[in-house]
């Protein structure tokens, strides 16, 4: 890992009536538009969806790194994330992020250790830690024979 601080540069470009094109060095272009809730088409990634998706993505990547360092074997993880956008004191913002995680582990796995590492991943997720919205985690660990 490189020393801090890290810098992430993204260029957004649009015309008066086009979707937004996000570009980053060595990254594929990503087209975004307002969500249906804000009068957009609802068929493109939106800033709101990207933010909620970033929480899910960061959680999974954090868990993967922590599980690897802790030598926890696992088979599959699903992270369903819901962001609640509301108006508070005349400011529209995310007020809550709910993270529901289902982890599948092989038979013989220490389920308590798996739960502990899921919570450690939540605590170390830099995206969640960067938000002012309340974050709530709920987990399910299943053992597969």
The closest of 79, 82, 84, 144 to 118, measured between CA atoms, is 79
- Residue range 98-119, pLDDT digits in tens: 999 999 999 999 999 999 999 9
Averaged over 18-34, what is the pLDDT? Answer: 97
For residue 134, pLDDT beyond 90: no
- Residue range 36-61, pLDDT digits in tens: 999 999 999 999 999 999 999 999 99
Averaged over 81-87, what is the pLDDT? Answer: 97
Task: Give the span between the Cα atoms of 6 and 40, in whole angstroms.
Answer: 33
The closest of 59, 62, 65 to 97, measured between CA atoms, is 59
Determine the pLDDT at residue 2. Answer: 93
- Asked if residue 142 lies in contact with residue 105, where contact means CB atoms within 8 angstroms, the answer is yes
Mean pLDDT, rounded, of the chain: 96
Determine the pLDDT at residue 34. Answer: 97
State what percent of residues in the chain have pLDDT above 90. 95
Domains of the chain: 47-144 (3.30.300.20)
Determine the pLDDT at residue 1. Answer: 87
């Amino acid at each position: 890992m490189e020393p801090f601080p890290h810098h992430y540069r993204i260029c957004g470009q649009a015309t008066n009536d086009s979707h937004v094109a996000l570009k980053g060095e060595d990254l594929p272009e990503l087209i975004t538009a307002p969500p249906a809730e804000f009068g957009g088409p609802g068929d493109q990634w939106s800033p709101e969806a990207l933010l909620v998706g970033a929480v899910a993505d960061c959680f999974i990547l954090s868990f993967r790194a922590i599980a690897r360092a802790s030598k926890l074997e696992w088979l599959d993880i699903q992270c369903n994330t819901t962001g609640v956008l509301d108006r508070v004191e005349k400011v529209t913002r995310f007020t809550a992020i709910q993270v529901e995680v289902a982890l599948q582990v092989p038979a013989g796995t220490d389920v308590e250790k798996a739960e502990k590492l899921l919570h450690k991943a939540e605590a170390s997720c830099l995206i969640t830690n960067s938000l002012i919205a309340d974050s709530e985690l709920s987990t399910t660990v299943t053992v597969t024979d």
